[in-house]
Chain A
Amino acid sequence: MTIRPGSPLARFSAFALLAIVLPAAILAVLGYLSLRQWETSAELLFREQARDMAAMAAEKVEMVLVRAEDELLGRIQSSLERPDFAPASLAQLLASAPLIRQLHLLDREAHLLFPLPGTGADPGIVSGLLAEIPYGFWERGGRRRLLVGDHVVLAAVLRVPGKSPVLAALSWDPEALRREILARTLGTLEGPSILAVVDREGRPVYSRQPLDRAERVVTVSFGEALPFWRVALYRPHGMSPRDAVRRQVVIFTVAFGLLLLVIVVGLVATYRVVRRETDMARLRADFVANVSHDLKTPLSLIRMFGETLELGRVGDEAKRQEYYRVITRESERLSRLIDNVLDFSRIEGGRRAYVMTPTAVEPLIGETLKAFSYPLTQQGFKVEVSVAPGLPEVPMDADAVGQALANLVDNAIKYSASRKALRVEAVARVGHLALSVADEGVGIPAEEQGRIFEKFYRVGRSETQGRRGSGVGLALVRHIAEAHGGRVTVESRLGEGSCFTLWIPLEPQTR
């Protein structure tokens, strides 16, 4: 279907576009803008909350770690305070404290008290420790976290009454830290966001759940307790306000597209209905005009020839005879036409009754063709009739089938151009009588062959312009065929001719 500018469809579409699509589009744009605004503020809020949450988590981890440090230092202190202190008891303590990777004890003279020399002491830590201890640390005491090589070493001066102070240096086991501190602390925090701990390169050290394609929102450092690590807050994939907006936009776009589709389908459907109705109205009007013209022609002829005879203007007897024949012929034509129209209106009103009686086919064809003998001979038609030998009598309404046949013959005459040939054939085929009427006339375009049996429809081309017809002939033929339980088919090539076949069942139909 093509849409021409200015056509009713174009106007209709433009109206629909303005009335429905434009407001919807404006709504969509406004909706999108407000969504974007919401996205920005939501993102801001989220980042703030994320930062708070990460800071809180870092604080909590630090607190737990300090508590663990307190506990371990306390235990070491109490070991040292025991009168029977022996380094071996520290080894026992270490075995029960997986958090401690290494423990070194030094006295004021930098003598290694634990571990005993040659039993796993780390000379690097010892020397690094000595280099890093700030001035006055022994006197001030307290706790210090020192960076020794790649490790954080917790240094504390432990004082035992009656003994010289001892410097304890602890370094943490990362695996145990992850397990004992991070997992226990961060693992208990709930929420859709993922809390994780990353190292200096941003590689995750610990995360509560798999990070997959999660997006890192903020990182917060732990402070000096865990200088190499930072708390990071991740947002699972597809959870950001932007993703929400994107989803909304997709949903909205799809809904909008569907709406458009529905509108377009509705428009097309409405247009088709409207066009069908207007076509039908136009065809009905044409029908009235065509039928009136068709009725007038024979009537005028009858009247003219009658009056001419009446006025005694024809002296020649042979000519008079010819005038009488014209009057008879035109009267027949008129009855045929009136029959068609009346039958058509009977069919339309569902009042057409059919009386089926076994009928011989050959005489039926003969009688029908006899009615057309004048135009056939006058126009120089080559008429060929072939009836298959042994064709049985077929149950049918002889008047109706004769009428259908007459309509087909009439069409063949009407739509023949220079090649005037008519072939009527009757054969038995697949349980049916196949009665076909073929011409070598103008033919019917393939795309119109489906519509020619519709009432009032006439093939609209210059070749048929001016050919008279009511547009009900073939509709009548189809109705008659169907009333017999048969059908009518057409084969036609443009410019080569048409062949209409009436299929009437050979056996009576029980209906």
Chain B
Amino acid sequence: MPRILIVDDEPEMVRGLEDNLRFEGYGTLAATNGRDGLALALSEVPDLIVLDVMMRR
């Protein structure tokens, strides 16, 4: 199952995206700031990253 990392500081956005992607049959990972997102991207190596371009930290 392909895994997608979602990084966004809007929790609602993360939730909505997760719900939809899971519905489509993807595995999801989520972070609410850039630092955590980078750490996840490096440790989990997702297949795709959906990244907010304007975020704190």
**Interface of A with B (CB < 8 Å)?**
293, 297, 300-301, 304-305, 308, 313-314, 326, 330, 378, 465-468
Contacts and interface: CB of A to CB of B under 8 A. Distances in A.
A465 B56 contact: yes
Contacts of A300: 13
A465 B33 CA distance: 12
A376 B9 CA distance: 15
Interface residues of B, number: 15
Interface in B3-54: 9-13, 16-17, 19-20, 23, 34, 54
Contact of A297 (B13, B19, B23, B57): B13
A304 B57 contact: no
A465 B16 CA distance: 25
A378 B23 contact: no
Contacts of B34: 466
Given A297-B13, A466-B9, 4 more contacts: A301-B12, A301-B16, A330-B12, A465-B56
Contacts of A326: 12, 16
A297 B13 CA distance: 8
B13 A308 contact: no
A308 B16 contact: yes
Contacts of B23: 313
Nearest to A462: B57
Contacts of A465: 56-57
A305 B19 CA distance: 10
Nearest to B24: A313
B9 A304 contact: no
A378 B11 contact: yes
Closest 5 CB pairs of A and B: A466-B56, A304-B16, A466-B55, A313-B23, A301-B12
A314 B11 contact: no
A378 B23 CA distance: 25
Contacts of B10: 297, 301
B54 A314 contact: no
Contacts of A305: 12, 16
Nearest to A319: B19
Nearest to A330: B12
A378 to B, nearest CB: 7
B56 A304 contact: no
A508 to B, nearest CB: 43
Given A301-B10, A326-B12, A468 B19 contact: no
